[in-house]
Structure 1
Amino acid sequence: MTVSIPPELRQRLSTFGITAEDLEVLPSLRDFAEKTLPGLLERGLSRLASWPEAMAALRHPEVHRLRVAHWQRVATGQLDAGFLESAEALGVALHRHGMPIYGVGLCGVTTLNLISEELGLNPPGPGWVRREAARKFALRLSLSHVAWLHCELLLECFTRAEKAARTSLTNRLVGTFEQRMSGVVEELGQSVRQMEEAVQVIVGNAGRIGEVSGTVAQSAARADQDVQAAASSAEQLTNSVGQISRQLGEATRIAARAVEDARRTDTVVQALAEGAKRIDDVVSLINSIAGQTNLLALNATIEAARAGEAGKGFAVVASEVKNLANQTAKATEEISGQIGQVQGATREAVAAIENIARTIDEINQIAAAIAEAVAQQGQTADAIARTVQQAAAGNRRVSEMMRGFEADASSARQVAGQLSSAAGGLGGHSRSLRQAMDGFMSEVRSA
């Protein structure tokens, strides 16, 4: 039977020493290949027990089916297009089910030995030169040539499958890597942009902080001057309040002495009024005596007139007594008038002294109230002075802090400038990283 050998298979025949005689000899094994070979391949799996990975792959039903079909072509020398297809199908199935690459050659040699043993193709020894033996040797040699071609095709298939798997894995890994790295690069670029925006904000804020700090420092300095002036005024107020308080104390003491003097004067005037009253009583008594004396003189004059000439001397005396009584009455009247005036003046003086005493008491009470208010104002002035001093200290502290803020703002502007430069460099590195990653991805995909 003539076999149509594909061009891509024909160029391998000479490499593996496959001749036309080999292709004529091998079809004689067709009956063996169809009836005996399937069971032989299944029984021969035990020889691969030391290689569990290879044995596990060969036990798979799909692999066993494809293996039997392909080895039937190998054993009968059917090197047609179907041979390449069955080799490709078996190689793909073996690779898919985990056959290690060393198992290809191992499985090929084991299968060749199984077939040779089953057909009695192995030479028994040095004397093996009979005609039948020569035929069997030629058959084994032809079978070996095709078996090695089979192994080479499977290894090529494994290589392509391995490359395809590696390419698939590489593409998958590259895709995952590219996706992740693209995300990282994009996030990096976005972070750089955000950082650049943040740097601009920081620069602007630092500038404004510096300006505000300078303004606040100047305001704090002016406020400190104002506070110092207020402290000086508060101190003057405290001194003035103290002086007023001392003067009010002195005025209170003077008012108290005036009240006491008014009370003593009132006592003296009351005593004077009492003396005037007693004098008035004495004057009244004298006036009463003068009246009685005048009445007695009148009676004496009447009696002297009755006595006539004998009573003339007595009448003269009585007349003189009467004159003296009249003069005494006039004098007592004048004294009574003077005493009345003294008593009126005394009453007015008592009333005036009482009014003066009441006024001084009122003045004293007002002075006490003023003194208390001044004392409270003094305490308030002291508190104001303390508060002003604390405010002055606070203003100085604020001035120092503002100067520190201004220095920090200047440092922040410098750092922000450095950060801006770093962000620009980082952006350049991000773009370089993107370009390098794209180049790496292209190289990996083309490998």
Structure 2
Amino acid sequence: MTTKATTRGRARRFPLAAQIFAAFGTVVLLLAATAALAVAEFSKQSADDQQIMQRIYLSDQKIAEVQEALDTMRMETLRMRSMDPAEIPSAWATQQQNMDAFSAKLNEFGALYLDYFGTEMAFDDADVAAWQSYQAGLDALYDPASTEAVIDSESQDALGATLSASVSNLTTVVAEQITAQVAKSKAETAKVQISLVLISVAAVAVAIGVGLWMARRITRGVTTVKASLDALAEGDLTREATVRSQDEIGDMASSLSKAQSALRETMAEVVTSAQTVAAAAEELSAANAQVAAGSQETSAQAGVVASAAEEVNRSVQAVASGAEQMGASIKEISHNANEAARVAAAATSVAEATNEQVAKLGVSSQEIGNVIKVITGIAEQTNLLALNATIEAARAGEAGKGFAVVASEVKDLAQETAKATEEVARRVAAIQGDTDGAVDAIGEISEIVKQISDFQMTIASAVEEQTATTNEMSRGVAEAADGSANIAGNISSVAQAASDSAQVLDQIGSSVNELAELSATLRAKVEYFTY
């Protein structure tokens, strides 16, 4: 009737709060990581944009400086053409400084280009040749130590224009590099955006997965516990909640399993107790029937004894009446001696009748003694049955307290019956003793009456002796009358006690029947459960 108890693993405890916190913490960490990555990438993009703007600005500034140096050099060349030959040497020195400045600015731009774009500035061969030709032309035109052929002014101007166009083309070259970097930055930004989208989708997927896992984990345990509770509501105590999770739901399932086990044990004990109570009720019912039969027998015997006591009382009254008559006869003898013979004969007759009545009184006393023995046996049997009922009520526990009280009352009544019976026995013994004395006295009276005829001379003394004897007999008969009256009263008490015992036994029978009904109802209620 019991099932295997639910066993739970020894894994580390993981409460629901910790599970929910871990799940949402994972989602928050993923979102935080996504946000941090987005902030970092956007910060990098912003820095790259600022760097590109700075490079554009500085590149334009350097190109402007190169262009300015070139323009200064060309203007100085035009000015030197109109100079007096004597002024040319000093102007040539200035022009050389301008040429050095142009070369320096061009080198600075090249260094900046290399720093920004990671590659050296590559000039076209035509641009390099134009610069070299322009520089050689200036040397041939204005340097006295030069052996180069003199270049005409128009060719020199063309070379200067070519150099100016080359410098202007630097802006285009830088713009191309900047455009390439911007495109690269945009491509990286697009990759970052795609990565952020993928990471966000992954975070959402993880969040959904964690949520579904949590919902399934919690729902599965709650569903199992609910199924067990539904079965319990239907009276099935064998459906246990097998939840192995180390959390509050697992604790709830374990507590429910313990409660079901305790209920199963309780139901088994209730069934056993109900069966025990039912058996005790049957035994009490049988004992009650037996005691009731004994009580009825006691009542019947008490009625018989009461009738016998009334008969004894009537006999004693007759003896008393005879004693009075004997006294009158003796008085008559004292007054009339002549009537002595007749009185003696009458006395003899009366004595014989009295002897018979007294003999009957002895027989009645013996019958009363037999009845008293029967009553004593019934009282002892009633006391024994009451003791057995008390023991069975003690075995029944709380349910048998009422029967214990009733059994105790029956036992007390039985003891009182035994005491009353003993009193009746003592009084009957006294009556028997008095009756024996009366028989002896009547025998003496008979002998005296017989001797009256022979001893007329001693009538006076015989009359006195007979008077004393008659008085003693009267007292004995009076005492016998009182004893018989007491016997009748005690027998009536015994009959009343037997009637009371019968009523108590009826109450016991009703209580026993009610107990049996309660036991049957309890077993019917327990049968609703499956355990």
Q: TM-score, normalised by structure 2?
A: 0.35
Q: TM-score, normalised by structure 1?
A: 0.41
